[in-house]
């Protein structure tokens, strides 16, 4: 036997009302589920995004090289630290006329521009180009090539070139 459509609608309408009009225990359970779902969503979002702090320490470094007749200095200094560059037999302490390096960078300096100790003679073979930072953390030296010793030619040889 078939029931009319209007009878079917009446039977389903009270079922819908029951979902909306839940008893107290069912309402509490629904609220708990909604709360847990919202909390889980928040926690999931927090695990994906993190914030933090990263500290980078830049240490002083240097590279002192001889390239032909130039000294190449690559240096990284901390703020407030300077370096001295000079030429001497022993690199114990900077000479008063030492070249001051005040900033990080790459420097290419002719050997002739580097200040020398007063007692350093041109014909000495054991001379160094010295580097020392003001905080003492950077210290280096390289062997300075001897300057060519030029002997004056006798007058007879000087004028013997054909013209």
Q: CB atoms < 10 A from the CB of 4, how many?
A: 8
Would you state the pLDDT for residue 102?
Answer: 96
What is the C-alpha separation between 68 and 102, in angstroms, rounded?
25
> Quick one: CATH architecture of 61-144?
Sandwich (2.60)
Assessment of whether the complete model's pTM goes beyond 0.75: no
DSSP codes of every residue in 88-149: ESS-SS--TTPEEE-S-EEEEEEGGGS-B-TT--TT-S-EEEEEEETTSS-EEEEEEPPPP-
* Three-point CA angle 115, 93, 127, nearest 5°: 50
Would you state the pLDDT for residue 1?
Answer: 52
What is the C-alpha separation between 86 and 95, in angstroms, rounded?
7
What is the C-alpha separation between 13 and 160, in angstroms, rounded?
129
Would you state the pLDDT for residue 18?
Answer: 47
Low-confidence stretches of the chain (pLDDT beneath 70): 1-24, 39-50, 120-126, 147-163
Would you state the pLDDT for residue 85?
Answer: 96
Would you state the pLDDT for residue 31?
Answer: 80
């Amino acid at each position: 036997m078939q029931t009319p459509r209007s009878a079917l609608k009446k039977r389903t309408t009270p079922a819908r009302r029951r979902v909306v009009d839940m008893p107290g225990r069912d309402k509490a359970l629904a609220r708990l589920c909604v709360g847990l779902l919202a909390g889980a969503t928040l926690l999931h979002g927090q695990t994906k995004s993190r914030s933090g702090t990263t500290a980078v320490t830049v240490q002083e470094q240097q590279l002192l090289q001889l390239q032909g007749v130039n000294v190449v200095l690559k240096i990284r200094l901390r703020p407030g630290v300077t370096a001295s560059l000079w030429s001497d037999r022993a690199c114990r302490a900077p000479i008063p006329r030492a070249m001051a390096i005040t900033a990080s960078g790459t420097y290419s300096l002719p050997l002739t521009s580097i200040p020398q100790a007063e007692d350093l003679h041109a014909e000495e073979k054991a001379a160094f180009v010295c580097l020392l930072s003001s905080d003492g953390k950077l210290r280096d030296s390289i062997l300075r090539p001897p300057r060519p010793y030029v002997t004056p030619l006798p007058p007879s040889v000087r004028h013997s070139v054909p013209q």
